[in-house]
Amino acid sequence: MFRRAIRRLLASALFAALRVRAKSFAMLPPDSTLLVIAPHPDDEALGCGRLIAAQTDAGGVAHIAWLTDGEACRPATTSEKLACQRRAEGDAAASILGVPSSCCHRFGAPDGHLSSLGPIEREALVANLAALFGVLHPSEVLVTSSLDGSTEHEAAHALATAAIERLQPKPRLRTYLVWAHWNIRALLGVWRQCDAVFWRADPGRSARRAAAIGAHLSQTQPLPPATAPLLTPHFLACFPTNGEFYLDR
């Protein structure tokens, strides 16, 4: 309990320091297309749920692309059964944020192995991402930050960057945080290394974001034989309560 309190205190101090440096996040025009790339179902709601909801509320188009189905999060559960459940949870969360199933995309990469894909697998995934970009022509792409403190999230950033390098013209790429909110070392790295930090305050859509996170029941509820959720109340409480940070790396 004491360590949790210290973590929360340090995170709050770093959030305050980042807010001082942060620029305001300008919303996209109403006729624009936003593409959010998530390593796993739930990352989209955790990292940028408010922004997705704001984009669809304004009449803009938002797409979500999940690189994996998140099937490796519960080793005691059959991976295909869990993948099916998490796909359904992703659809439910997207719907809450205003994203229809026609704007949801899945790549089916192996969960837990984004950072160790073989050359053929990696090339196929990058090519498929580039092809999706070519079809959607997004104005802005959001992906997990290379500073997020997760090998899977860092790998997602590298994959998205590689795909964008194949495009002309290139969409604007910005990043969002998930695990860095809980990982003080990663959050400190963001403060030290990231020059462009953007803050988007949107307390009015916090309930929508929370509902979208809650749709991921395999993460927010205990899944037998486990007795505790993966996304614990303490972990969720580490996120800012009224807005979201976005970065340039």
pLDDT band for 84, please (50, 70, 90 cuts).
Answer: very high
For 35-66, the pLDDT digits (tens) are 999 999 999 999 999 999 999 999 999 999 99
**Residue 137 pLDDT more than 80?**
yes
* Domains: count for the chain: 1
Q: Where residue 205 sits, what CATH number does that domain have?
A: 3.40.50.10320
For 1-37, the pLDDT digits (tens) are 677 778 778 888 888 899 998 999 888 888 899 999 9
pLDDT for residue 78: 63
pLDDT for residue 144: 98
Q: Quick one: CA dihedral 31, 172, 169, 99, positive or negative? A: negative
Do strands 197-201 and 23-24 pair parallel, antiparallel, or not at all (unpaired)? parallel
Q: What's the rounded Cα separation, in Å, for the pair 246 and 40?
A: 18
> Mean pLDDT, the chain, as a whole number?
93
**Residue 246 pLDDT more than 60?**
yes
- The angle that helices 2-21 and 184-193 make with each other, rounded to 10 degrees, is 20
What residues make up the domain containing 189? 2-247
Angle at 51 between CA 58 and CA 56, to 5 degrees: 30
pLDDT for residue 10: 84
* DSSP state letters, 76-139: TS-HHHHHHHHHHHHHHHHHHTT--GGGEEEEEEPTT-GGG--HHHHHHHHHHHHHHHHHH--S
For 190-205, the pLDDT digits (tens) are 999 988 899 999 999 9
